[in-house]
Amino acid sequence: MWAYIDESGNTGNRIFDENQPVFMAAAMATKANFDLVYGHDVTRVAKMAGVAALHANELGVGRVEPIARDLRRILRAAGAKFAFSRIEKKYLAATKVFDTYFDQGENLAVPWNVYWLKPMKLVMTFKLASFVITEEIAKTVWECLTAKSEFTSKKKFVEAASAMLERVHLLPDARSRVIVSGALQWAIENPENFTTHMKGKTHRQGHSPNFVAFNHIMDGLERFSKSWNRPIREIIHDEQEEFQRTLQEWHAIWSKPELKGVQPIIYPGDEPFSVSRGPGSVFRMSTENGSAGLQVIDVVLWLFRRALDGKEIGSDCAALLQFAFKRGLQNDFSFEGVGAFMDEKFGPVFSTPLTAEQQAKAEEKTAEFETHRQKQMQEYAERKTASLASKK
């Protein structure tokens, strides 16, 4: 199996660019080497458009529309499948705030269920984004995560936590106010227990929309590989300099052959997470001029972006895009997309009253979580006090 990946809306770690609020990536997967088998066909179509290689942004709808039907025929013959990732940068910023301060493995004041049960995690993220997190706070947290020095990182960490603590009263329910204020206060008092600073640039770039989308795309490609029962031989990514090393390093981690048999990680309320993606595959960068597959996914992604922006794309272009959607997987990492996922997957759970037995079990578990939380905080306080005393 071969895969071809393209991106759109690249601002890297500069995610507060108002001109590019969304980052998108897409991949095309085929059982055979698309460049080798269908390269001449794509070149023929490009000549029909009066160019040597397809670049949708340069061609515009006026010259893509006449060749869209021919591209659809090629893709149908190739049996192509597609994976799409859409990242709303403001939503990404909100999730980074939540993960930075409410990871129960680091913030011992957070109840276990608030972070590790996906429905509760998403609900709390939405509440924070709606009532507590301002753009200024989100920017401060981003500076904390992308700072080159640990001193600056911790300074921004405490600064943002203090700013959020002043807004906790805006949360609509008492329980959320108790959880959030307790967590933020503990973070301010114990910043040393949080991993906020990454020394290497490639690790800091792991917060970027580029990496999140690449993660989504690799997950989709792994699903195609399993459904076709074919290993991923090669992944060709549209050439770019800023994130090349980061993507190469993460691919090298995920594609280690020894990870192939490792069981997926399962979090409550979430899909299984596989640590192995494309075991044994090759990852390389190429220009669109050097890859017919990259040219085709460039056209598909460009049409997808235009359609989302409400711009005209033409009937044959729409048919081409619809073909890709019918044979594609989509990951919409946005307030709207995740909200729709929440309604579909957890709506019935939230709207169905608990039975007396379920209520009793829930109260029992909540009590267990609270006992564990108090014990963890007490033990940490004792260790910290002992450590400080030994340094005097």
What is the average per-residue pLDDT within 357-374? 92
Q: Which pair of tokens denotes residue 145? A: 């995560």
Per-residue pLDDT, 153: 96
Lowest mean pLDDT among 55-59, 172-176, 385-389: 385-389
Q: Which two tokens stand for residue 98?
A: 């939540």
pLDDT digits (tens, 9 = 90+) for 251-276: 999 999 888 878 777 766 566 777 88
- 188 neighbors 112 (Cβ within 8 angstroms): no
Over the range 262-287, which residues count as b (16 or more CB within 10 Å of their CB) and which as e? eeeeeeeeeeeebebbbbebebebee
Q: In this predicted structure, what is the pLDDT of residue 202?
A: 75
CB atoms closer than 10 angstroms to residue 129: 18
Average pLDDT over residues 275-286: 92
Sort strands 81-88 and 22-30 into parallel, antiparallel or unpaired: antiparallel
In this prediction, residue 268 carries a pLDDT of 65
The Cα–Cα gap between 83 and 76 comes to: 16
Contact 295, 64 (CB under 8 A): no
Distances (CA, A) of 162 to 121, 183, 207: 21, 11, 22
Residue 205: what pLDDT? 80
Query: Per the structure block, which two tokens stand in for 231?
Result: 């290993």
Provide the pLDDT confidence category of residue 4 given band limits of 50, 70 and 90: very high
pLDDT, tens only, 61-93: 999 999 999 999 999 999 999 999 999 999 999
DSSP classification of residue 311: -
Where residue 54 falls among pLDDT bands split at 50, 70, 90? very high
Residue 246's nearest CA partner among 278, 280, 285, 277 is 285
Whether 110 and 53 have beta carbons less than 8 Å apart is answered as no
Q: Any alpha helices (H) in the chain, and if so which ranges?
A: 34-48, 56-78, 89-102, 112-116, 118-127, 135-146, 150-165, 174-189, 201-204, 209-228, 244-254, 292-308, 315-326, 335-351, 356-390
Residues 6+ positions from 42 with CB-CB distance below 8 Å: 54, 71, 74, 292, 295, 296
- 237 neighbors 5 (Cβ within 8 angstroms): yes
Query: How much of the chain exceeds pLDDT 90, in percent?
Result: 79
What angle separates helix 34-48 from helix 292-308, to the nearest 10 degrees? 60
Q: What is the pLDDT of residue 270?
A: 65
Find the range with the poorest average confidence among 44-53, 129-138, 205-214, 301-310: 205-214
pLDDT bracket for residue 292 (50, 70, 90): very high
From CA 123, how far away is CA 178, in angstroms rounded? 15
Strands lying side by side in the sheet with 234-238: 282-286, 234-238, 2-8, 22-30, 81-88, 328-333
pLDDT at 284 over 70: yes
Q: What is the pLDDT of residue 60?
A: 95
Range name among 115-119, 153-157, 160-164 with the lowest pLDDT average:
115-119
- pLDDT averaged over the chain? 93
Cα–Cα distance for residue pair 153/172, rounded to 1 Å: 30
Please compute the mean of the pLDDT values over residues 314-343 and round it to a whole number. 95
For 10-22, how does the pLDDT look when each residue is reduced to its tens digit (9 = 90+)?
Answer: 766 778 988 889 9
Return d(Cα 84, Cα 296) in angstroms, integer: 14
- Is there a contact between 218 and 225 (Cβ–Cβ < 8 Å)? no
If one counts every other C-beta atom within 10 angstroms of the C-beta of residue 78, the result is 20
Beta bridge partners of 29: 3, 81
Report the pLDDT value the prediction gives residue 200, as an integer from 0 to 100.
77
- The Cα 305–Cα 297 span in angstroms is 12
The single-letter code of the amino acid at 328 is G
